[in-house]
Amino acid sequence: MTDLLAWVDDIARLARPDRVHWVSGSEEEHEELLRVLVAEGKLEKLDPVLRPDSYLARSHPGDVARTEARTIIASAREEDAGPTNNWADPEEMRALRDSLLDGAMRGRTLYVVPFSLGAVGGKDSRIGVQITDSAYAVVSIGVMTRVGAPVLREISDGAAWVRTVHSVGAPLEPGQEDTAWPCHEEKHIIHFPETLEVFSYGSGYGGNAILAKKCVALRLASVMARDEGWLAEHMLLIRLVSPQGRRYHVAAAFPSACGKTNLAMLRPTLPGWRVETLGDDIVWMRPGADGRMHAMNPEAGFFGVAPGTGPATNASAIETLWGRTIFTNVARTPEGDVWWEGLTDTPPERLVDWQGRDWTPSSGRPAAHPNSRFTVSAAQCPQIAEDWEDPDGVPLDLILFGGRRAAHVPLVVEARDWAHGVFLGATIASERTAAAEGTVGEVRREPFAMLPFCGYHLGDYLAHWLLMGRRMYTDAAPRIYQVNWFRRGEDGRFLWPGFGENIRVLDWIIGRLEGRAGAQDSPLGALPRPEDLDLTGLDLPPEDLEELLAVDPAAWQAEAEGIGAFLETFGDRLPAELGEELASLRARLAAAEAPVRPDRP
């Protein structure tokens, strides 16, 4: 504890807050923080009947997403950050941190938030402390992690801990009135991987302020995982139970706002199937003594994208949000409830939009920000697995990779082996969404959905994945598949219904594991034949199914060129196995005389 006390004292002397508050993690403290936020105009309390114990926050219009352009990996050597990260000299970044923190918390409270990722005391859990001047961040961290006195006891007993500091960068002079969403135009998120530290300045939004989430649980954890022999991944985790009662554990990597939460809370349309939710965003995996990969969800809550979430797309999420939820940048109804695009088929006649302006369906702008969010305890999910907090995790059977691709990428592809599966994960490309800065709809390569979240050289990260394969028994390693729910026809409509119907793809995948489902070969890997998919009760035109399972060699030769150009950015840090996989793909495409199309059922 001596180091912790000295560190907090050093930050407090530099930032000069009015007061210091050590967060206990009690329910009474949580409620008091929410009460204060409402009194200060930073949160609005929603109608207690329609949405009990729930609150609405509206951010500054310039503080609505991850700030990837200002996210820094300050590793000791620039080459260790790699070409996909922003690098800066760590000594220069420490000097910048100190200059920005100088007086940054004047007029505010400095909160000390001890947090645990994973159950407190779990063998694979990791703990840390966040210093912040944002009570909104404190209550959000309290939902997303385990906080308070039990973590302090771990530190007192000698456990290693991660240091994180966050400031909104908006000091208050005596008598100065605060704003509803304090932030600063200048934003920085700086990671020091060698010393396991994070500094965030200027933003109060999402993962920019909840540092335990992407900053620690992915960027720093990926470095810890590399050094300690495990994996920290941007994945969901579910238990899939077959009609025969057999249980399979599935991890799936999708870029942000590409359907992770929907799949994590899937309600299957095929009779007899059941999904139990274990996690919706982050998975830590470790090869076990039994030769299998074991996975756990280190988080305690869901920080999900609201738009597009509705009873038809994710009924479990809607039920999870019954109350005790913090909503950010959604619209508010005149009755005191929330609304966003996709919550209902028909919007209300009148709303207050995410910027506090009057809104009607004729306003010509979204009522909720496209990256608006909900923060809620995972325990409220109606299909949460009973053992979702088990520190030992679950043995993993399947890994899925996917993204938003309107063309080329089939509905599902089976990897030939672990190296081919790593190649599929390494070459994910997806249309950019509103969850990150940049042009929405632009296609970018997102290896393992980790492009914004890997804390070291991505070439070394891919080599680490290959190494993990060698640490498992070949016949016990998870099978790997690539999926694409987002293929569109020439008329622009989605060809696959998605959501609960995705169980039909998972049923085929499980059938492959069990040896009961057939497949056809393609240059990309094994694909289902139309008769291999259970389409009972699904009104899917045969020509749509044909397109969903088609592989066009000419289009994929162009795709392979893009893959090759991307992999070249890793230079001599690209594992040789992935170069061999690309060469093999090009050879198979060249040998294909015509597009691979299934026979119609």
pLDDT at position 560? 96
- Residue with structure tokens 């492009």? 451
Please, are residues 142 and 25 in contact by the beta-carbon 8 Å criterion? yes
pLDDT at position 433? 57
pLDDT at position 439? 57
Q: Using one digit for the tens of pLDDT, what is the confidence trace for 296-354?
A: 999 999 999 999 999 999 999 999 999 999 999 999 999 999 999 999 999 999 999 99
> Which long-range CB contacts under 8 A does 150-157 form with residues at least 24 apart?
150/25, 150/116, 150/120, 150/121, 151/25, 151/114, 151/115, 151/116, 151/120, 151/127, 152/1, 152/4, 152/114, 154/116, 154/120, 154/121, 154/127, 155/1, 155/4, 155/114, 155/127, 155/129, 156/1
The mean predicted confidence, pLDDT, of the chain is 95
Q: Using one digit for the tens of pLDDT, what is the confidence trace for 229-263?
A: 999 999 999 999 999 999 999 999 998 768 899 99
DSSP labels, 98-144: HHHHTTTTTTSEEEEEEEEESSTT-TT-EEEEEEES-HHHHHHHHHH
- Split at pLDDT 50, 70, 90, the class of 599 is low
CA distances for 232 relative to 77, 99, 182, angstroms: 22, 32, 32
Mean pLDDT of 159-171: 98
The residues spanned by each domain of the chain are 2-40+66-229, 232-299+388-591, 302-380
**pLDDT higher than threshold 60 for residue 466:** yes
Mean pLDDT of 549-574: 95
Q: Using one digit for the tens of pLDDT, what is the confidence trace for 473-497?
A: 999 999 999 999 999 999 999 999 9
pTM of the model: 0.96
pLDDT at position 601? 42
Mean pLDDT of 463-473: 97
- Residue with structure tokens 């640490």? 471
Mean pLDDT of 120-138: 97
**pLDDT higher than threshold 50 for residue 284:** yes
Please, are residues 221 and 371 in contact by the beta-carbon 8 Å criterion? no
Separation of alpha carbons 458 and 427, rounded Å: 12
Q: Using one digit for the tens of pLDDT, what is the confidence trace for 377-412?
A: 999 999 999 999 999 999 999 999 999 999 999 999
pLDDT at position 502? 97
Residue 526: helix, strand or coil by DSSP? strand
Separation of alpha carbons 220 and 298, rounded Å: 14
CATH top-level class of 232-299+388-591: alpha beta
**pLDDT higher than threshold 60 for residue 435:** no
CATH entry 3.40.50.720 includes domain 2-40+66-229: no
pLDDT at position 444? 84
Mean pLDDT of 154-171: 97
- Split at pLDDT 50, 70, 90, the class of 432 is low
Separation of alpha carbons 501 and 485, rounded Å: 10
Residue 272: is it exposed, middle or buried by C-beta count within 10 angstroms (0-12/13-18/19+)? Answer: exposed
Residue 513: is it exposed, middle or buried by C-beta count within 10 angstroms (0-12/13-18/19+)? Answer: middle
Mean pLDDT of 583-601: 82
pLDDT at position 395? 98
Active-site amino acid positions: 258
Question: CA angle, corner 341, sides to 403 and 329, nearest 5?
Answer: 90
* Dihedral (Cα; 539, 544, 548, 549), 10-degree rounding: 100
What share of the chain in percent tops pLDDT 90?
A: 94
Separation of alpha carbons 283 and 289, rounded Å: 19
CATH top-level class of 302-380: mainly beta
pLDDT at position 399? 98
Q: How far is CA 450 from the centre of its chain?
A: 9
Residue 115: is it exposed, middle or buried by C-beta count within 10 angstroms (0-12/13-18/19+)? Answer: buried
Q: Which pair of structure tokens corresponds to residue 583?
A: 């060469």
Separation of alpha carbons 495 and 462, rounded Å: 32
Mean pLDDT of 289-295: 97
Which of 255, 271, 262 has its CA nearest to residue 507? 271
**pLDDT higher than threshold 60 for residue 436:** no
Residues whose CB is less than 8 angstroms from the CB of residue 19 and which lie 6 or more positions away in sequence, other chains included: 109, 110
**pLDDT higher than threshold 70 for residue 369:** yes
Q: Using one digit for the tens of pLDDT, what is the confidence trace for 39-86?
A: 999 999 999 999 999 999 999 999 999 888 899 999 999 999 999 999
* Dihedral (Cα; 325, 329, 334, 338), 10-degree rounding: -40
Mean pLDDT of 268-277: 98
- Which of the residue ranges 248-252, 272-276, 417-421, 593-597 would you say has the lowest mean pLDDT? 593-597
